[in-house]
Amino acid sequence: MADNNTIARPYATAIFELANDAGELTAWSESLTIAGQLLADRSLVEYLGSPQFDDGQRLEFLTGLFTKAGATTLAGKDHKGTNFLKLLIEYRRIRVMPEIATHFELKKAAVENTVDATVTSASKLTDKQVAEIAASLKKRLGREVKIETKLDENLIGGAVIRAGDVVIDGSLRARLEGLANALIK
């Protein structure tokens, strides 16, 4: 059986090109993110896979769900969104919606020259610290940086920064482990 990412990639590419050509990247991004979050619930996917429903009922259920959740592009008001859902339903690919959303976001970030970064720290960062980290990452990566902060009380001090494929571990724990390794040698 093919990996979900392998299945999702061509769908994400196709819908990205459609959205980009129409100048609707933001609307599609928001809708796909919502749909991906909803369909990450495997019990919902199993429910939709029930043989008691036909494809029309599945489409009606999903467009209703997406309307309530605010995924307007996929809510049946846009024929492109409806056709996209019909295609996923027909080929039994609705389960890969979370991966489609992820691949879409990666393509969107590449076009917009942005990167999402997560800064995990032992204590809450000030706005000034977040701005300094963003400026440093922008200089290092050559992209606009969107930062999300998280707290991890297991860190003794410092921070761990993840931006795309880049991981910068400036935590005190990592430094202590490095010191321990140096002392052992």
pLDDT for the residue 135: 93
pTM: 0.75
pLDDT for the residue 78: 73
3-state secondary structure (DSSP) of residue 87: helix
pLDDT for the residue 29: 95
Contacts of residue 113, Cβ cutoff 8 Å, sequence gap at least 6? 142, 143, 144
Q: Mean pLDDT over all residues of the chain?
A: 91
pLDDT for the residue 149: 94
Cβ-count burial of 181 within 10 angstroms (0-12 exposed, 13-18 middle, 19+ buried)? exposed
3-state secondary structure (DSSP) of residue 154: coil
Task: Encode pLDDT of 64-116 as tens digits.
Answer: 999 999 888 887 777 899 999 999 999 999 999 999 999 999 999 989 999 88
pLDDT for the residue 176: 76
Question: In the chain, where are the structural domains located?
Answer: 4-109, 115-184
Considering the segment(s) 4-109 as one domain, its CATH architecture is Orthogonal Bundle (1.10)
**Residues 41-52: what's their mean pLDDT?**
94
The residue whose two tokens read 């259920």 is: 61
3-state secondary structure (DSSP) of residue 2: coil
Q: Is the dihedral of CA 42, 47, 50, 54 positive or negative?
A: negative
Amino acid at the residue 183: L
